[in-house]
Structure 1
């Protein structure tokens, strides 16, 4: 299994089919979905669908979300990484690369979102130097907005996303 990056506290590796149970535990937790439209998963099959989609991203775009493994415990703590968005066009943006992360609540507040996002950002600009990197966070999720700013993305606009009834903030990088 491919390791994309290592940080002081994390191993960031490809997501594999065997991660389905962990992905389901993560995405079925209502607390995890508080700032994601309050729509947690209700079946393991949907978690498998997400994993298949991520694996397709690796093949088609050379990037995707990564499993985050805590070095000290060996625990699967969530995911982080990159995505090429071709099927979602928030506020008129389409075909864009974004950075994201999602962790089990017991791992919040440890700096893992920032640590893993720095690794993903560096990986992105090393492999896609001529591309813009974007990030989206719910306005009420101040912690995620701060992470995107800490890694060097600039907040460009706030907008209402009607299907989920959310106010979102759009961040992006300037092209090098």
Structure 2
């Protein structure tokens, strides 16, 4: 858990959580818990969240990958430092994660769900080979009228879509 301090700095930065402020870490214990869940994902599913570093140094610039949700789909997600956004890290990581998920459990679709207002994440999902499945309302007091976009690497069945919308 040597990465805990750097990850806490990223996960507690309010700029990272504009879309979902309730997910911001408020103590190192939050980060410790998420690191533990990532280790559990890897042990259980043989794939999970990666810590992303610059190619030339050991500084953490973000994290992301695919994790199984609801036993029904791979969720593609990530967070990156504001200073490295737009440099291709999210796209590179997302493309690798989609390929890895298809190798580990090809029976599960790969899905990215995001706020409609997050155009950069939508572009990353598209570059990773996902296509827009639909637009859905979000029950959210912090962002009234918010819309969730669902992207997937294939057509979703009714049960799969229900699992995504209730995750």
Structure 2, gaps ≥5 residues long: 156-167
When normalised by structure 1's length, the TM-score is: 0.79
Residue deviations 1:84-107 (CA, integer Å, cap 9, x gap): 113xxxxxxx73211111111111
Q: Which has the higher helix share?
A: 2
Structure 1 stretch displaced more, 118-127 or 105-114: 118-127
1:168 to 129, 148, 163: 148
Moved segments of 4+, more than 6 Å: none
Alignment of 1:14-163 (within 5 A): 17-37=1-21, 39-86=23-70, 95-163=72-140
2: distance between equivalents of 1:116 and 1:82?
10
When normalised by structure 2's length, the TM-score is: 0.83
Q: How many residues align?
A: 152
1: distance between equivalents of 2:106 and 2:55?
29
Structure 1, gaps ≥5 residues long: 1-16, 87-93
Residue deviations 1:58-93 (CA, integer Å, cap 9, x gap): 11122211000111222111101111113xxxxxxx
Q: Which has the higher strand share?
A: 1
